[in-house]
Amino acid sequence: MPARLAHRTRPRSVVLGALALAASLALAACGTGGGGGGTDAATDSGAASNTLVIGMTATNIPLLDTTLSQNEGYEGIRFVGNQMFDALTRFDLSDPGKIPDVVPALAESWEPNEDLSVWTFKLRPGVTFHDGEPWNADAAMFNLDRIINDASPQYYPELNAQAGLAISGVQSARKVDDMTVEITTKGPWSHLPADLTTIFFGSPKAIQELGNDGFGKAPVGTGPFKFKEFVQGQRLVMDKNAEYWRGAPKVDSVILRPIPDPTARVAALRSGEVNWIEVPLPDDVESLESEGFTVHLNSYDHEWPWVLDTSKPPFDDKRVRQALNYAIDRDSLANDILQGTASPLPQAAAEANFAFRKENDTYTHDPEKAKALLAEAGYADGFTFRLSFPTSGSGNMVPIPMNEALQADLAEVGIKVELEPIEWAAMLQDFFVGNIPGGAEAINISLSYQQEGFWTSWYGTDAATNAGKYSNPEVDALFKEAKTIEDPAARSEVYAEASKLITDDAAWLFIVSDMNPRATAPSVKGFNMPKSWFVDLTGVSVGDGTASTDQ
C-alpha cells in the first residue's frame, strides 16, 4: 500500500498534463478554426492573387524532372512536364474544335531526309532556361544524351525507361551547329515530331550542379511556369515565367494538389480550396453545373475497350467478336451511367484520333443481329467467358458499374460474362508482356493514343503489348507504310484504312471513349478544353478579386 501511495502522483500528472495539452489545443482551435476563417482565406487569396489551384487525381505530386513527370500517369506530363518544360515540338491546343496538330516548340522547324530516317531540327533562337542559361544545341544534346546515350556521364536509365515509346524510334543524335541538332531514327519514322512532344529539356547547368536528386527537387526548364516550392505529398507551387517565349501566362501562379478521392476533390472545389479539379464523378456533374461551376468535356484520344483474345475460342471467330459489338448498348452506358462524361465508340478510332472517319461508324445496338451472328458461328445457345478488369487506375472511369452494365447487355443475347476484378499494377504486369491475367478470354483496360506508335503496339502482329494476339497482314502493311509518309494528312488516310479493317474485324469490343471531365470555379476564365489529354494553361486567368464567386 505505501508503495502505491508513493506512486500515485505520477499517473495523475500524466492525465493532468494530457488534459492541459488538450485544452490548449482546443483554445488554439477556437482562435483559428471557428467560422472557417482558414477556408475563406483560401478562396480569397486564390482569387485576389490570381492563382490557379488544381486538385489532381494523383495520389502524390508527380516527379519534377522533365519526362520522369509521367510517373503519376500522364497527369504528370499534363501538369508538370508541359508546364515547367518544353519539348522540341508541341501539340497546338488552341482550337477546341480540332484534333491538335504538332507544331514547333523548342525547335523552330525540322526537315527529314528522303526516307524519313535522319531529321534535322533548327532550334528556336532567343529562348533561355528559367536560370538564364541559353537554349542551344549543347543544351539539347546534354538532355538527349541523358536519355539515350548510355556512354555519357549524365545518362539516366530510369529517364530512358520512362521516356518509353516516345524515344523508342531514336537511334542517335548529334550536334550540327550551335542551333541545329540531327536525330537519326531506327528506319523510317514519320511520326518522330509527334513522339518528341513529351521529351522535355532541363537546364544543363542546373542538372550538373544539383545532380539528379537535387534537380528532381528544384527543376529548371524553359516552360510557361517556373518552379517555386515543392512539399512532398502536399503541393507544388509554380510561378509564371514572364519571359516565356510564347508570351507570359495570365495567372501569377499555379498550385498542384493531389486529392485522390473523387468525393473529397469535389468537396474541395465546392469549399473553394481549389478552383480546378480533374475528373469529378459522373453523378456530380449535374449538381456542379447547377451550382454555377463549369464542367468541361471534350473528346480526346482515349478508348475504354475489352481486348478479346483472338487466339483461342470463342473469340478466334470474327463473327463472335462482331456479335459482341452489336450486343452492347453504348449510348445508354455513355449517357446513363457516365452522365455524358464519355462518348460511344462504334469503331476502332476515337473521335479525336486522326484515323477517325465518321463513315467508319459500324456498330449499333442490335441484339437480333448479334444473335444471328452467334448462331451462324455455332453459338446459338450462347457461351460463357471470363473478363479480367482493373477496379481502378488511370483513365478507367467507374469500371465496376460499367462492366456490370455490359455484362447485363451480353446476357440478353445469351453470353454469360464472369467478371474477375484485378488490381491495376498486377494487371499491367501481364498486359505489358502481351498476356491477359489469369488466362481470361478478355481484358478491360483504359488506353490512350498519346503517340501514333500505339496503333502498332496494340494491333501489330509482332507487338509485345498486343494482348489480344490480333493479327492481320494487311493492317501490318499499312502500319509499315505509314512510317514512310511524312505529311500527317496523307498518313491519317493510311491509319483510317487500317482502322476500318480493324473495325470490320472487330479486333476488340469497342465500347466508349472518355470525355476527360474536369470542373472549374466561375472565377476561372479563358480555358478552352482541347481535344487532347493535355492542357494549355497560358491563356487561363482567375477572377478579378472583387467578387467571391466560389460559394
Q: Which of residues 467-526 bind another protein (CB under 8 A)?
A: none
Helix residue ranges per DSSP H, 346-468 = 367-376, 399-412, 424-432, 453-459
Region near another protein per CB under 8 A, out of 33-41, 81-89, 239-247, 524-532: 33-41
Our finding on whether 457 is near another protein (CB under 8 A) is: yes
Site for another protein in 523-542 (CB under 8 A): none
Q: What is the C-alpha to C-alpha distance for residues 498 and 345, in angstroms, rounded to an integer?
A: 16
Piece of 46-54, 110-118, 176-184, 244-252 that binds another protein (CB under 8 A): 46-54
The answer to whether 38 contacts another protein (rule: CB under 8 A) is yes
Q: How far is the CB of 424 from another protein (least distance, A)?
A: 6
Site for another protein in 340-379 (CB under 8 A): none
Helices 318-327 and 367-376: angle between axes, nearest 10 degrees: 160
Binding another protein (rule: CB under 8 A), the pick from 50, 162, 190, 360 is: 162
Work out whether strand 383-390 and strand 225-231 pair parallel, antiparallel, or are unpaired.
unpaired
Q: Is 51 in the site for another protein (CB under 8 A)?
A: yes
Counting contacts by CB under 8 A, is residue 176 touching another protein? no
Beta bridge partners of 422: 390
DSSP codes, 253-314: EEEEEE---HHHHHHHHHTTS-SEEE---GGGHHHHHHTTPEEE----SEEEEEEE-TTSTT
Q: Which residues have CB under 8 Å from 246's CB, separation 6+?
A: 224, 538
User: CB under 8 Å to 6, separation ≥6 — which residues?
Assistant: none
Nearer to another protein, 314 or 437 (CB): 437
Q: How far is the CB of 257 from another protein (least distance, A)?
A: 6
**How far apart, in Å, are the Cα atoms of 213 and each of 149, 228, 231, 307, 514?**
20, 17, 15, 39, 36
Which 118-157 residues touch another protein, going by CB under 8 A? 157
Q: Give the phi and the psi of residue 239 in degrees, each rounded to 5.
A: -100, 155
What residues numbered 81-120 form the site for another protein, per CB under 8 A?
none
Query: Least Å distance between CB 375 and another protein?
Result: 36
# of chain residues touching another protein (CB under 8 A): 92
Q: At closest approach, how far in Å is the CB of 369 from another protein?
A: 33
Question: Are 309 and 445 in contact, with CB atoms under 8 Å apart?
Answer: no
CA–CA dist 148, 141 (Å, integer): 10
- CA dist., res. 224 & res. 82, Å (int): 8
Q: Does residue 41 bind another protein (CB under 8 A)?
A: yes
User: C-beta of 234: minimal distance to another protein in Å?
Assistant: 5
Residue with cell 528559367: 130
- How far is residue 94 CA from its own chain's centroid? 19
Min separation Cβ 441 and another protein, Å: 19
Smallest distance, another protein to C-beta of residue 256, A:
9
**Which residue's CB is nearer to another protein, number 37 or number 125?**
37
Secondary structure letter of residue 81 according to DSSP: I
Q: Is 20 in the site for another protein (CB under 8 A)?
A: no
- Using CB under 8 A as the binding rule, whether residue 460 contacts another protein is answered as no
**Minimum distance between the CB of residue 213 and another protein, rounded to whole angstroms?**
6
Choose one: 18-26, 93-101, 180-188, 523-531; the region binding another protein (CB under 8 A): 18-26
Say how far apart CA 98 and CA 121 lie, in whole Å.
Answer: 26
Unique residue bearing C-alpha cell 480550396: 273
**Residue 453 CB, nearest approach to another protein (Å):** 8
Rounded least distance, CB 93 to another protein, Å: 21
Contact between residue 449 and residue 74 where contact means Cβ atoms under 8 Å apart:
no
**Nearest-approach distance from CB 149 to another protein, in angstroms:** 14
Closer of 51 and 503 to another protein (Cβ): 51
Q: What is the CB neighbour count within 10 angstroms for residue 295? A: 20
- Is residue 161 at the binding interface for another protein, with CB under 8 A as the rule? yes
CB contact set of 196 (below 8 Å; sequence gap of 6+):
87, 88, 89, 166
Q: According to the binding rule CB under 8 A, does residue 305 interact with another protein? A: no
Tell me whether residue 395 or residue 530 sits nearer to another protein (CB atom): 395
User: CA-CA distances (angstroms) from residue 282 to 288, 317, 391?
Assistant: 10, 36, 16
List of long-range contacts for 374-382, beta carbons under 8 Å, 24+ apart: 374/319, 374/320, 374/323, 374/413, 374/414, 374/415, 376/319, 377/314, 377/317, 377/319, 377/320, 377/323, 379/314, 379/320, 379/323, 379/414, 381/414, 382/413, 382/414, 382/415, 382/416
Q: How far is the CB of 279 from another protein (least distance, A)?
A: 15
Q: Which of 358, 359, 381, 425 binds another protein (CB under 8 A)?
A: 425
The one segment of 66-74, 132-140, 320-328, 380-388 that binds another protein by CB under 8 A: 66-74
Tell me: does residue 69 bind another protein (CB under 8 A): no
Task: Select from 95, 111, 158, 544 the one that contacts another protein (CB under 8 A).
Answer: 158
Q: Crossing angle for the helix pair 157-167 and 137-148, nearest 10 degrees?
A: 100
273 binds another protein (CB under 8 A): yes
Four-CA torsion 42, 44, 45, 48, nearest 10 degrees = 160
104, 134, 164, 382: which one binds another protein (CB under 8 A): 164
Q: How far is the CB of 71 from another protein (least distance, A)?
A: 6
Cα 60 to chain center, whole Å?
15
Q: Which of 20, 32, 125, 286 binds another protein (CB under 8 A)?
A: 32
Instruction: State yes or no: residue 216 binds another protein (CB under 8 A).
Output: yes
Site for another protein in 219-258 (CB under 8 A): 231-235, 237, 255, 257-258
407 belongs to the binding site for another protein (CB under 8 A): no
Report if residue 14 touches another protein, rule: CB under 8 A.
Answer: yes
Residue from 272, 305, 399, 468 that binds another protein (CB under 8 A)?
272
User: Under a CB-based contact definition with an 8 Å cutoff, are residues 525 and 512 in contact?
Assistant: no
Using the rule CB under 8 A, is 73 a contact of another protein? yes
Give 50 or 538: the residue with its C-beta nearer to another protein. Answer: 50
